[in-house]
Amino acid sequence: MKVLKVSVILIAAILITIGLSGTAKAFHSGGVAECEGCHTMHNSFEGAQMTINALPVGTTNAYLLKGQDQSSTCLNCHQHAGDTGPTGYHISTADADMPAGTAPLQLSPGGDFGWLKKTYSWVPRTGAATEYSYGERHGHNIIAADQGYVADSIITAAPGGTYPAGTLSCISCHDPHGKFRRLNDGSIVNGTATSKPIRSSGSYATSPDPDVNFAVGVYRLLGGIGYEPKSNPGYAFGANPPAAVVPSAYNRTEATTQTRAAYGLGMSEWCANCHTNMHNDAYPTNLRHPAGNASKLGATISGNYNAYVKTGDLSGLSTASYLSLVPFEEGVADHTVASYTTLKGHAVNNDTQLGGPDAVNANVNCMSCHRAHASGWDSMTRFPLGNEFMTVADGLGAPIYPDPTANPAQAMGRATTEFQKALYDRPATKFAAYQRVLCNKCHAKD
C-alpha cells in the first residue's frame, strides 16, 4: 500500500512537472506555430459554431481564421489592455492605456502601432493656421477591425509601389506561417524539398545558429522571395528578408542605454518588395536619398556619423558613436553563420557595443530614418522632421523638450512626455539645447 502511495505521489509530481516546465516558449519559434492558435477547422464543434458570421455551421471565416481579419488575429496576442510600459512581444497599445496626452507604451525597434491613433494639432504662432500631424501619417496603416485600426484614408497604394493599402495587414510583411528559413550554408529557402526543419527563431542575439541538421527562422518571420499571402495574391516578393538580429530584450526604454538592432544586409531591398521605387543605390543618378546594400556611407558620411555627438559638438569617437535613432546597416557579406556571429556581437541593450559605421562596408538603409511599424512622427521617422529644432532651452540654457504652450511650433501638439516617449524615453540632456534634427547625424550641417 505504501508503495502504491509513493507511486501515486511520484506520478503526480511528474505530471505537475511536465505541466509546468518547459512550456513558456515563444508561440512562433521561428516558423509555423500551432495551427489551432489562429485557425478553426470546421467552425463547429458538436453543432455549435466556433466563430460567428453569415456562414452556416460547418463553414468558416475567411482562411479558416478565428479572428475577424488577419491583423486582429495577430493583435489578440500582440496587444494587451492594461500594459503599463513596454511589454515583451506587444507592438500595440490599447486605447484604454493611452488617453489624450499620453504616448503609446511599446518601445520595440519597429515601433508601436498605437501612434496611428494619435492625431496632433497646434497653432505654431499667433495668427497662424492650425497645423496637423494626423495619426494615419505615423505608420503602416494595418487593418485590424477588432482593435480599431483602419485603412489609410489618403494613400491607396504603397508609396513607390502598387501594393494596395486597402489590404495592408501584419501578414503583408510577416509570413504568418514562417516558412522562410535560414540554412547553415547562408541560403534562405522557403520550405522546399531540400530545406531543413526550423529549430528556433533566428531573430535574436541569443538564437542558435543553423547547422547541418536544422535551420532557423528568418528575421521576424518576414516574407521572402515569392511570398504572397493567399488573401492578396499578385504582389509576390522579389527579395529575401534581411540579415539582422535584435537583443533578446528589445522592447524597452532607452532612457539610460540603447537597444541596438544589428542590421547587416538587405533591409532596403526587402522594403522595396512593396516600395519599389523608393529604393535607390545609385544617387546621384536619380534624385532620391540612397538606401540599399550598395549605398555605402563612405569616408565622409561615416566620418560625420562617428564624430557627431549633438548639435555643435563633433568631438565623437567611432567607438562610441552608435545612435539607435539613426541606425546603419553594417554591410555584412551574406547570411552565413559568420556574418550573424558579427551581428549577434553587436545586438545588445547595455551600451557595450556603441561602435559606429566603418568607411567601407556600412550603408544607409530604410531603417536609418524610419521605423517599420509606426513612430510618433510623420512619415514614421525615428526623429521629428516637422521643425528644425528637437529641443529648446531652459532659463539656464540646458536642453529641454519643447512645451506645447510655450514652444508650440517645436512641440507640434505633443506633450513633453509624449515627445520624449517618441524618442524612446531619452532625456533631453542627451542632446544639445536647440538640437537640430538628426539628419545631421550623417550630414553634420549643424
Partner 1 sequence: MNKLTYIRSKTSTLLAIFSMIFIATSLYAEKLTASYLYNLSDFKGTINYSWPRLSADSGKNEIYVAYQSYVRIFNDNGMEIYRFEGTDFGSIYDLTVDNDGNIIILSYKGENYLITLCNFRGDPKSKIELKDIPTEYTDMHPNRLIYRDGFLYLADFASMKIMVTDTNGLFKNGYDISALLGFDKDKEEAEDAGLGGFSIDSKGNIAFTIPVIARAYLLFPDLKIISFGKRGSTQGKFGVTGGITADDKGFYYVADILRCVIIVFDKDFNFQTEFGYRGFKDKNLIAPTDLAIDGRGRIYVTQGRNRGISVFNINYRIDQNNEEVIPNKDNFISTTRNLQNQEINLKRN
Letters for 195-214 (x = contact with partner 1 by CB under 8 A, - = none) are ------x--x-x--------
CB of 55 or CB of 236, closer to partner 1? 55
Q: Verify binding: residue 257, partner 1, rule CB under 8 A.
A: no
Query: Which residue type, as a one-letter code, is found at position 232?
Result: N
Q: Give CA–CA dist 288/409, Å, rounded.
A: 28
Distance CA 329, CA 318 (A): 15
| Rounded (5°) CA angle 371-373-376 | 65
Q: What is the maximal distance between C-alpha atoms in the chain?
A: 92
Q: How far apart are the first and last CA of the chain?
A: 85
Residues ≥6 apart with Cβ < 8 Å to 402: 389, 391, 392, 410, 411, 416, 419
Task: Annotate each residue in 397-436 with x if it binds partner 1 (CB under 8 A) or - if it does not, as one string.
Answer: --------------------x-------------------
259 binds partner 1 (CB under 8 A): no
Q: How far is the CB of 3 from partner 1 (least distance, A)?
A: 24
3-state secondary structure of 27: coil
Q: Cα(405)–Cα(81) distance, rounded to whole angstroms?
A: 31
> Per CB under 8 A, which region of 13-21, 122-130, 164-172, 223-231 contacts partner 1?
13-21
Among 68, 195, 232, 276, binds partner 1 (CB under 8 A): 68
Three-state DSSP state, 411: helix
119 binds partner 1 (CB under 8 A): no
Residue number with CB closer to partner 1 (56 or 82): 82
- Residue 97 Cβ, how far from partner 1 at the closest point, in Å? 7
Stretch that binds partner 1, among 17-25, 151-159, 266-274, 306-314 (CB under 8 A): 17-25
What distance in Å separates the CA atoms of residue 164 and residue 232, rounded to the nearest whole number? 9
Site string for partner 1, 25-64 (x = CB under 8 A): xxx------x-xxxxxx---xx-xxxxxx-----------
d(CA 333, CA 160): 27
| Whether 377 contacts 369, CB under 8 Å | no
Which range of residues in 97-105, 119-127, 334-342, 359-367 is near partner 1 by CB under 8 A? 97-105
Residues contributing to the site for partner 1 (CB under 8 A): 16, 19-21, 23-27, 34, 36-41, 45-46, 48-53, 66-68, 72-73, 76-77, 80-89, 94-97, 99-100, 102, 145-148, 201, 204, 206, 248-249, 417
